[in-house]
Amino acid sequence: MPDQQTPTPRRRRRPLAALRAWPRWARVTTYVAAGLVLVLVAGAVTLGVVLRRPLPEWSGTAELPGLDAEVEVVRDEHGVPQVYADTLDDLMRAQGYVQAQERFFEMDVRRHATAGRLAEMFGEAGLASDKAVRTMGWRRIAERELAVVAPRTRQALEAYAAGVNAYLDDRAPSQLAVEYSVLNASGLGYRPEDWSPVDSLAWLKAMAWDLRGNMGEEVDRALTAAAVGRERAEELWPAYPFDEHAPIVDGGAVVDGVFEPEATTGGTRLPQRPPWGERRGDAESGGGPWEPGLRRVRAALDAVPSWLGRGDGIGSNSWVVDGKHSATGEPLLANDPHLGASMPGVWMQMGLHCRTVSAACPLEVAGFTFSGVPGVVIGHNADVAWGFTNLGPDVSDLYLERVVGDGYRYDGEVLPLRTRTETIEVRGADPVTIEVRATRHGPLLSDVDDDLAAVAGTGPATEQGEPEEEQAVALAWTALEPTTTADAILAMNTATDWDSFRDAASSFAVPAQNLVYADRAGHIGYQAPGVVPVRKSGNDGRWPAEGWRPEDDWTGETVPFEGLPHVLDPEEGFVVTANQAVVGQDYPYALTQDWDRGYRSQRIRDLLVAEGELSVAEMLDVQLDDLNPMAATLVPYLLDVDLPRGYASDGQRLLADWDGSQPADSAPAAYYNVVWRTLLELAFHDELPEEVRPDGGQRWFAVVSRLLQRPTDPWWDDVTTEDVVERRDDVLRSALLEARDELTRLQSLHPEDWSWGGLHTLDLRSPTLGESGIGPVEALVNRGGWEVGGGSSVVDATAWDAAEGYAVTSAPSMRMVVSLADLDDSRWINLTGVSGHPASGHYTDQTDLWARGETIAWPFSREAVEDAGEDVLRLVPTRSG
């Protein structure tokens, strides 16, 4: 028999290069097509002028109304601005001005999204998102929040808005962003409104939405149970492996409502009653009559634009080591948040410096900012440094509601629905009016779908003359109440020690984040902040709750801040957070059961222990670790499969000597990941609905690890094949053979020519014009083609979705390492660049460096900033007369 085999037939797949579907609101093809013709008709010279017209001045002098004194903006070779002022008001005003210079179109689109007004700019394609956001009322909540934040925060928001508006004044839209030129050439006639403090607060709602915890898991569990039954659905959400992967805080207990890191005993949790489904005796029914409503909720979740990203890849790494574990003798802190890959990136680097630090002007801080929000979100000041990872507590619940006419059932009664009317302006069409309905639990998110609009109100009558019962789904979410997160950002910027930092963290409400900490006095620490609801014992938060049962309600209380886990100067000398469980199983408050299962966190811990003493460069090396944590489990099974020699086994032979690492040029990593994707398809696609098929991340590592030990488990069987029962080794063999064919088709007949980066590419796309469908316009704003290593649930977390393809869906949005021994020795890098202007040299000038794993200098002292400075812009008060 010859060694070469004919490639085996392939199953039909969806396009391999596809990213997750971008929101429909982004598709503005009709308008862009018209604009494109008008913009390009004058020729390339005119186009060049149009492209460069919005580029800001980086040097010279510019007037900024309202300043008390001159402000300096010093930019380095990458355009990173460091702002120097004499008063806090001047500093915030200048920050608004500078961010409007570089990122105003991004800010403007984002505020339309958070206000439910995308359709005003992009027509009917924005309606689905607008309906969802209006139903939740983000803008209404932000307006109430302005009255809740501290006076100093409100003053900062107002000064920031004044700075943005000063930049907008006397500038035509074409001078603000080339995107306005394209849109207005199509007849939009758009001119931006003034910026307001509420616009900044509303962006924090978008941040909370993207990092909202397990809302998606609630829906997906229910839809999975509807397809395969509750018992089998539970198998796909394995419990956290506490015996294998350490939580963030090891030990401690809550004593009299206060978390004490050294305590060994504490309170006990209320006894749990069975959750929805189990106590009704219909554990196999899945979503039951609420399944259509849950699918509508799933559609509503997907309709809202994702600014930080969504899916299993959205997480982060952050860790801190004390001076005993640092080559500098002082703490080192690292952070790399894993967020959606888009253009421009979510972060803008910036320094904010009071020339003389005092109570009146307390800022001396640098780090990563959100365009549209005053202050620094992640970074360091002169005394302390901090980093974020997503805590991911369960801060939302979906409530199944039994709606009857204008009311809903609760505790044996019919209570009236709360209603309000929202009118949405739509470009090129008549306004659309929606009725928002809400129960005691929250707005009916299932109403967002157009199909439900017809049954809003009384509904048809039964034979007895009563309105027919309607199944709806309400959303309870902590972010639907005013919070003080904006206070926390500015308070962390001015913290000077552990106590003042914890005081700042106590205001950080949503989204709840793991905060790692270091200071120049040599201390390191961790704090879990956030508003986390306390549920009654009938609601475990993992499944949609029964809204008519009072025992499924929240108690109205939240986990007290003093009861949240924290630690200062742990005995082991470091803290690692990577979205794993925060604390052990004896902790009395229910934070969530949907933790990341700790593959990244445990790998980081192992590397820190092995290294012992780390330099700044070695901290950066840990961020780039690309070991696949699933490979050691799966590869031995793959090598045990008997394949014919030659073509069929060429890929398998690559795995024999593979160390599990996934650099961009790795051939075995390419083969392994194609096998992994194919295995998931063969094992699960036959039984799971399309919207809940495996994405291949950390949860599926745990699922498949268990299944590999059970070769006859029903999940291995393909239910679509009659009279054949597939087992584990059948699926593994098919996966190996199909992967060989796939790489032959995609890359080469010769395995030595395969590469993981050739499949796993990073494309940065603008979520507006970048999805227009018009090639020249997309080429104007999008950038792509970076071949990268890493992967899902790898420390170098360039995630991909196995249900879609191999392209990067989320990635480290920045990387930073702060040296508390010498702040000027710190390093940072952004996924994109400072600028949001496609014609700017700083649009993606950091991306090539990022893809190579490099960083840039992070100057902080005035001397270091001046040495690195290349451009200085002086902002001066408006001259009188």
Domain containing residue 686: CATH number: 1.10.1400
Per-residue pLDDT at 35: 55
pLDDT(657) > 50: yes
- 290 contacts 548 by C-beta, under 8 angstroms: no
Per-residue pLDDT at 777: 86
Cα of 723 vs its chain's centroid, Å: 45
Kindly state the average pLDDT of the residues 441-462: 61
The reply to whether 117 falls in a domain is no
Top pLDDT among 776 and 785 is at: 785
pLDDT(4) > 90: no
Top pLDDT among 767 and 362 is at: 362
The reply to whether 530 falls in a domain is no
Top pLDDT among 462 and 304 is at: 304
User: How is 273-331 classified by DSSP, letter by letter?
Assistant: PP-TTTTTT-TT-TTGGGHHHHHHHHHHHHHS--SS--STT-EEEEEEE-GGGBTTSS-
Q: Would you tell me how many other CB atoms lie within 10 Å of the CB of residue 415?
A: 14
Kindly state the average pLDDT of the residues 206-224: 85
pLDDT in tens, 245-259: 999 998 888 987 888
Cα of 65 vs its chain's centroid, Å: 36
Instruction: Give the range among 65-74, 653-662, 771-780 with minimum mean pLDDT.
Output: 771-780
pLDDT-derived band at 459 (thresholds 50, 70, 90) equals very low
User: How is 119-166 classified by DSSP, letter by letter?
Assistant: HHHHGGGGHHHHHHHHHHTHHHHHHHHTTTS-HHHHHHHHHHHHHHHH
pLDDT(795) > 80: yes
For residue 240, give Cα distances in angstroms to 312, 521, 633, 766. Answer: 15, 36, 17, 36
Per-residue pLDDT at 726: 97
Question: Domain residues for 704?
Answer: 631-660+667-754
What percent of the chain clears pLDDT 70, i.e. is strictly above it?
A: 89
What percent of the chain clears pLDDT 90, i.e. is strictly above it?
A: 78
pLDDT in tens, 558-599: 999 999 999 999 999 999 999 999 999 999 999 999 999 999
The reply to whether 695 falls in a domain is yes
pLDDT-derived band at 294 (thresholds 50, 70, 90) equals confident
Per-residue pLDDT at 781: 94
Give me the chain's average pLDDT, please.
90
pLDDT-derived band at 287 (thresholds 50, 70, 90) equals low
The reply to whether 544 falls in a domain is no
pLDDT in tens, 114-133: 999 999 999 998 999 999 99
Please state, in angstroms and rounded to a whole number, the distance separating the CA atoms of residues 449 and 438.
Answer: 15
Per-residue pLDDT at 296: 82
The reply to whether 572 falls in a domain is no
Among 7-16, 261-270, 309-318, 685-694, top mean pLDDT goes to: 685-694
The reply to whether 673 falls in a domain is yes
pLDDT(321) > 90: yes
pLDDT(852) > 80: yes
pLDDT in tens, 715-769: 999 999 989 999 999 999 999 999 999 999 999 999 999 999 999 999 999 988 8
Kindly state the average pLDDT of the residues 186-205: 92
Per-residue pLDDT at 455: 33
The reply to whether 725 falls in a domain is yes
Per-residue pLDDT at 34: 53
Residue type, 489: I
Give me the number of domains the chain comprises: 1
Residue 855 has which token pair? 């960083």
Top pLDDT among 722 and 699 is at: 699
Per-residue pLDDT at 12: 35
CA angle 639, 806, 314 (to 5 degrees): 105
pLDDT in tens, 589-625: 999 999 999 999 999 999 999 999 999 999 999 999 9
The reply to whether 715 falls in a domain is yes
Q: Which residues of 767-803 are buried (b: 16+ CB within 10 A; e: fewer)?
A: bbbbbbebeebbebbbbbebbbbbbbbbbbbbbbbbb
For residue 743, give Cα distances in angstroms to 8, 11, 293, 672, 675. Answer: 12, 14, 41, 11, 10
Top pLDDT among 461 and 524 is at: 524
Q: Which of 231, 219, 217, 216 is nearest to 290 (CA)?
A: 219
Residue 373 has which token pair? 């929000």
pLDDT-derived band at 263 (thresholds 50, 70, 90) equals confident
Per-residue pLDDT at 764: 97
pLDDT(3) > 50: no
Please state, in angstroms and rounded to a whole number, the distance separating the CA atoms of residues 652 and 734.
Answer: 12
Kindly state the average pLDDT of the residues 800-827: 97
pLDDT in tens, 660-679: 999 999 999 999 999 999 99
Instruction: Give the range among 178-182, 215-219, 314-318, 561-565 with minimum mean pLDDT.
Output: 215-219
Report the C-alpha dihedral over residues 186, 189, 195, 200, rounded to 10 degrees: -30
pLDDT-derived band at 865 (thresholds 50, 70, 90) equals very high
Per-residue pLDDT at 310: 67
Per-residue pLDDT at 314: 82
Residues in CB range of 105: below 8 A, 6 or more apart: 176, 177, 179, 180, 836
pLDDT in tens, 137-170: 999 999 999 999 999 999 999 999 999 999 999 8
Kindly state the average pLDDT of the residues 650-654: 97
Kindly state the average pLDDT of the residues 426-430: 94
Per-residue pLDDT at 409: 98
